[in-house]
Structure 1
Amino acid sequence: MSTGSTGSAGDSKVETIARLGQWRIESFGPCSYRRSDSFKLGIWNWYLSVEKNRVMLIRLYPEPCRLTKEQPPLARFVLRVSNTAPGRRCCVSPVHEKVLRGSDDFVWQVDSMFHGRFTVDVEFLDLKIASIIGGEPSPIWPDEGMLQSLASRSSLCCLSRMLSESIHTDVMIHTSDGNLRAHKAVLSATSPVFASMFLHDLRENQSSTIDINDMSLGSCSALLGYIYGDINQDDFWKHRVALLAAADKYDIADLKNCCEESLVEDIGLENVLERLQEAWLYRLARLKKACMSYLFEFGKIHDLRDEIDVFFRQADRELMVEMFHEILAAWKPI
């Protein structure tokens, strides 16, 4: 337990632990005023004061200083006043959320009067730095989102080590030019196709091997990198078409969406027909629409006369019909 500084009065210090400050007042008369020593919670020093005349008032405020001026606290807190005499009484304030800069920013009028020995507790439920220019406040304590982010990073680090160091791997993957080791549980959690392989009495389950002969060692490595959360941007861009095919084959929807998004980003003359074919083959509506728009709405088909002849000789009949309708829609008679 840490404590605030001690003043001349023995009952002026505030004990602190975690997010709780507790001020034990040993003697308090019917008409009195008392202020605590400063105590630190979060990045600020705080004061509590009690004033009693006809009513009882409790104030909570940060120490006036440059820090408070430049980084004022936005506090969410609750106060409690209780005595230790027989027939213990306790008054609890509502939960307050306020920007606190001075002693007039928060005053709680207690519904009951307390004399002699009693305790004032302040519990901070949250503390943030309020923006002085109107932006979002900054938390000083980890919130649930931050905790989740830390936990996710830790889990990904563990998965990455499991793959890179072959920790308890239990399945061998045969690619077109090499072998890789992985984990049945991780693959099954990612893909319903892999899950089905290992759930039923299939060859892959019996032999603990998977043949992925339509992928190179590099592209399959990129696939595992994605599954285990350890793929880098360069590998993704280099192997994204192969990753798209694998995502479609093994029903990995989030990877398929990621590949489509990436392929839409860099459509150009040198790849638009190839992208259109991929969009048709893997049922990628957004990529197909972007390619059609590039070719017909923006008129780039006129720059691909030779290439389009070759494309039409190889393209699927239904795709050619769709392209014909796009030509008619884009054509505007003079």
Structure 2
Amino acid sequence: MSRDLEVKSCGYIHISVQNFCYEWAIRNFSFCMDGIRENITSPGFSLEASEEVQWCLTIYPNGVDEESTDYLSVYLGLLSCPKSPVWAKVQFWIINAQGEKYVITKISDVLRFLPNRYWGCKNFILRDFLLYHSHWLLPEDKLTLCCKVSIIGPYFSRPGQNMPPAIRDPMQILAEDLGELWENSLFTDCSLVVAGQEIRSHKAILAARSPVFRAMFEHEMLDSLRNRIEIHDIHLQVFKEMMHFIYTGTVPHLHNHSMATGLLAAAD
């Protein structure tokens, strides 16, 4: 009996992506929060390899509409481009006093930019939260806003070859690995009890990331000796969000007003 012959072939499509970051420092930022100026726009900037494509950042200190009046709104705009549209993904974050990324906001969609078209986040960070933590987020009254732009370029395909492995950001990998420890309660050594619910955690990570937890462990409080600490006067979901930040450095639900208010109270 003859067998059917199966012929296999393979190939790949490579989509070109150009990544670049822009850092914008605004000094005397507190004077921008008094409502005198509706918005602040950065100087134009571009990728070195594509200088004809000009971008800018715009901040609205008091939001862009009634829904965002309590927030700082951040937008990226395309000023000029000889060949539009430009397709891109965007991230925003603040650099804090320790030089760390804070309030990382990723827009998951690939955005279609046309000249003088802006995309961004209208509920980027709660204004009261920013001012309350000015010593940390506005050192010397300076806001440092960063924007990462990933421009989606042309693609090409080749038969019978494998794509080279992508090189990932080590800090992102670290945050994901620590996040997995937190989400899956792996190798925990202490319990935190909030609103009657026991949450497993890691003393070393808590001590490294929080001076409050570090003080508890250093002074050998009775609760810490038992590796079981009861925490009061905080909502369970707010506490979980705070723990997510301790482990990963990100706050996924900061755009939610009640969550942001709860985190502000917890930080106090």
TM over 0.5, yes or no? no
Indicate the structure with greater helix content: 1
> Which one has the largest radius of gyration?
1
**Between structures 1 and 2, the one with greater strand share:** 2
User: Which TM-score applies when normalising by structure 1?
Assistant: 0.30
TM-score (norm 2): 0.37
| Higher relative contact order, chain-length normalized (CA < 8 Å, sep 6+) | 2
